[in-house]
């Protein structure tokens, strides 16, 4: 069974690259109608606003640090420590927003939306509050999403349950958060390519030793 929604929104979903990677996402049903951008901005939890500002501040500090070439070694080390502490604090604050009661896991994510595994089918066009938690301290975001597609994935083993791959388009999202997801997807792609290259190298070495 597969349900597909609006073709224009589906094309919008395809505008951005999707990386196949499992990460945590919280989904809470949101009552229609979809608010305008100003209304959406008022919905963003303070933790996500604060950490976004901290991230911008930290990135600005790093750029300033990189631009100054005559810093003493001690001062450079101190600034690097402060940047790491700020990253750790940001990560902790965001992870405290993760609610196990509405936790799901992604099949893929990108700048336009996510694909999420669910145990039960959901209605097309259903709106959700989305909290996406990215791995490797790449950040987290709050946005509003809309279900575009629900694809049934039959169980491959008798003891397994049928599950559903649900495609959710970001309908309301801050530009800086979309940029963050795009960067995170590219970072994850680089990590995956690096792992594959290392695996090929190991296999080649093992073949030579045989």
Span 2-34+102-209 CATH architecture: Beta Barrel (2.40)
pLDDT tens by residue, 170-191: 999 999 999 989 999 998 899 9
Mean per-residue pLDDT, 139-158: 90
> According to the model, what pLDDT value does residue 3 have?
59
Q: Mean pLDDT, to the nearest integer, of 40-56?
A: 81
What is the domain partition of the chain in residue ranges?
2-34+102-209, 46-96
Q: What is the mean pLDDT of residues 149-165?
A: 86
Rounded (5°) CA angle 157-161-167: 115
* Structure confidence at residue 79 as a pLDDT band (50, 70, 90): low
Output the pLDDT for position 129.
98
The answer, yes or no, to whether the previous bond of 33 is cis (omega within 30 of 0) is yes
- For the segment 18-34, the average pLDDT, to the nearest whole number, is 96
pTM, rounded to two decimals: 0.81
pLDDT band for 205, please (50, 70, 90 cuts).
confident
Kindly state the DSSP code that residue 154 receives in the 8-state scheme: -
Of 39 and 69, which is predicted with more confidence?
A: 39
Count the neighbouring beta carbons within 10 Å of the beta carbon of residue 188.
19
Q: What confidence tens digit (pLDDT) does each residue in 83-135 have?
A: 677 767 777 777 789 999 999 999 999 999 999 999 999 999 999 999 999 88
Phi, psi of 87 (to 5 degrees): -60, -45
């Amino acid at each position: 069974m597969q349900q597909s929604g609006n073709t224009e929104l589906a094309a919008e979903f395809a505008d951005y690259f999707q990386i196949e990677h499992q990460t945590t996402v919280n989904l809470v049903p949101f009552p229609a109608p979809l608010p305008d951008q100003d209304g959406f901005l008022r919905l963003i939890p303070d933790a996500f606003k604060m950490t976004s500002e901290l991230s911008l501040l930290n990135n600005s500090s790093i750029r300033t640090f990189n631009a100054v070439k005559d810093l003493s070694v001690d001062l450079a080390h101190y600034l690097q420590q402060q940047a790491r502490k700020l990253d750790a604090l940001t990560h902790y604050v965001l992870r405290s927003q993760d609610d196990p009661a509405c936790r799901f896991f992604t099949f893929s994510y990108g700048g336009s939306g996510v694909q999420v595994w669910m145990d039960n089918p959901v209605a097309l066009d259903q709106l959700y509050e989305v909290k996406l938690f990215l791995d490797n301290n790449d950040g987290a975001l709050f946005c509003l999403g809309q279900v575009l597609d629900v694809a049934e994935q039959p169980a491959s083993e008798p003891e397994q349950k049928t599950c559903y791959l649900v495609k959710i388009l970001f309908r309301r999202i801050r530009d800086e958060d979309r940029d963050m997801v795009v960067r995170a997807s590219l970072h994850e792609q680089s990590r995956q390519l690096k792992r594959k290259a290392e695996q090929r190298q190991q296999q080649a070495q093992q073949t030579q030793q045989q």
